Structure 1
């Protein structure tokens, strides 16, 4: 397993998660089954969301570094399952083709401008992988065949979530704090929160004496990433320190 996913890894795993998503849809009793992890959505809604989103991002990437907004997706999804799966596969290919054509370092519009995730095609590819990974889990739950997020994807997913959703230049509105996240696979991260904003990083060495986190969460990478996305309860993890800090983090919605 690579310590850090590079651009070819991201493209490879987007393709694999796309295939796993389509397999879950094919295995479901019907497209009308509800998606428990996405309230008020049916499986058909989830497929359309994923396909329209991938096409919109493909068009945004193709628009080049001067694009100032996400492209509007064409709403042309077919109704019949086999045709819908073909449409979704084509959307994933459009996304991958656009990313390959642009390359990892080209700038790209994205909504996370105040976070630590770069506004590059590599940053977009990483975000696309993890959106597809979590929605693959959603589709598997709807089909009754849930599987853990693969460790290679889940480990990167914890880090990407923290960097994209949990970092900002907007001031933290509470007392300064730090939250630690520990994957049982042997990787840890810290999220620092202060009046200067929020930043996160992978932690290599144990914290020095007197540098304990305000709160901590431990679990497998799969459990961590699903809890961060609200797919399983936070209490599924081994929690330490101030539970109140996690409640504050969940309630905090700084403008990105």
Structure 2
């Protein structure tokens, strides 16, 4: 997915969450079932922290300290949106900039990362408020690719998980995208629509329960039980 499309999705999701924040009221105290321990207020505060952190990285082009949420996280989130979107639109994709992806590290990497940061948290917000926003199939497929090509190797590199030993083929039956997780010949395949796969690899759904599994179902459950994304 190109950066223009990713930016369009990011803008849509940020504005939708801004509308929820502006509405306020008792909804802000609701628990977020897909983020155990968080309320809507804490979810919006988390997004403000991420947005502020990313802006500081884009300015310095180097890793920066993570800010702390203040006493008014919802107001901070609302007030910070114009500057955040301006900073994201101003990115020159090929400029060198720190990120936690593979080399070469470029500023444009943050467009993809923030598109998915906000997409998955918009889903979380919907889960808290009793709705289930639909994730565009192309965006969802790109998000699966990000988890498998960026987060999984990063988790292994940091020693948070062991490399997967049972190779699994993952296929999106609506977009035609396919991935192979692990090395060697697949022992099983997991097939579902891209949105289900996206929410599954981000631990928002039990993928094994909604996907079609062919081959070694036990291997699929073991593999999908690994924390591919943080």
Bin of the TM-score, shorter chain as denominator length: 0.7 to 0.9
CA distance in 2, matches of 1:77, 1:219: 42
- Cα deviation, residue 43, structure 1: 0.5
- Report the number of matched residues: 223
Deviation at 1:103, TM superposition (A): 0.8
Paired residue secondary structure (1:36): coil
Q: 1:232 aligns with which of 193, 197, 205?
A: 205
Correspondence for 1:43: 40
Q: Aligned runs of 1:82-121 on 2, under 5 Å?
A: 84=75, 87-113=76-102, 119-121=105-107
Q: How far is the alpha carbon of 1:252 from its aligned partner?
A: 6.1
Shift of 1:193: 2.3
Alpha-carbon contact 1:24-1:145 (below 8 Å) kept: no
Query: For residues 118 and 229 of structure 1, what CA distance do their matches in structure 2 show?
Result: 25
RMSD between superposed Cα atoms in Å: 2.9
Deviation at 1:143, TM superposition (A): 0.8
For 1:31-180, list aligned pairs within 5 A: 31-64=28-61, 67=62, 69-73=63-67, 75-76=69-70, 78=72, 84=75, 87-113=76-102, 119-167=105-153, 170=157, 173=163, 175=165, 177-180=166-169
TM-score normalized by the length of structure 1: 0.75
Which ranges in structure 2 are unaligned for 5 or more consecutive residues? none
User: Bigger CA drift: 234-243 or 218-227?
Assistant: 234-243
Q: TM-score normalized by structure 2?
A: 0.83
Q: Which has the higher helix share?
A: 2
| Shift of residue 253, structure 1, vs aligned partner | 6.9
User: How far off is 1:145 after superposition?
Assistant: 1.6
Answer whether contact 1:99 1:121 (CA < 8 A) is retained.
Answer: no
In structure 1, stretches of 5+ residues that fail to align are 195-210
